[in-house]
Amino acid sequence: MGEVFEIYPLSCYYFGSKEPKPDKDETLFERVQRFKANYAVKGMRTCVEGVLLVELFGQPHVLLLQVRNSFLKLPGGRLRPGEADIDGLKRKLSSKLSSVENGIGDDWQVGECLGMWWRSDFETLPFPYLSPNIQMPKECIKLFLVKLPRSRRFIIPKNLKLLAVPLCQIHNNQKTYGSIIPGIPQLLSKYTFNTVQV
Q: How far is it, in rounded angstroms, from Cα 56 to Cα 72?
A: 19
Our CB check for a copy of itself shows the closer of 64 and 100 to be 64
Asked if 56 interacts with a copy of itself (CB under 8 A), we say: no
Q: How far is it, in rounded angstroms, from Cα 37 to Cα 148?
A: 36
Q: How far is it, in rounded angstroms, from Cα 106 to Cα 101?
A: 9
Binding residues among 30-49 for a copy of itself as defined by CB under 8 A = none
Look at residue 149 and give its three-state secondary structure.
Answer: coil
Our CB check for a copy of itself shows the closer of 102 and 189 to be 189
Asked if 136 interacts with a copy of itself (CB under 8 A), we say: no
CA Rg value for the chain = 17
Calculate the CA 80 to chain-centre distance: 16
Asked if 1 interacts with a copy of itself (CB under 8 A), we say: yes
Is residue 8 within 8 Å of residue 198, measured between CB atoms? yes
Is residue 13 within 8 Å of residue 7, measured between CB atoms? no
> From the CB of 84, what's the least distance to a copy of itself, in Å?
13
Asked if 178 interacts with a copy of itself (CB under 8 A), we say: no
Asked if 161 interacts with a copy of itself (CB under 8 A), we say: no
Give the count of residues interacting with a copy of itself (CB under 8 A).
Answer: 32
Backbone angles phi, psi at 51, to 5 degrees: -100, 110
Our CB check for a copy of itself shows the closer of 77 and 182 to be 182
- From 33, 99, 102, 186, residue interacting with a copy of itself (rule: CB under 8 A): 186
Binding footprint of a copy of itself on the chain (CB under 8 A): 1-3, 57-60, 112-117, 127-129, 131-132, 140, 142, 167-168, 171-172, 174, 183, 185-190
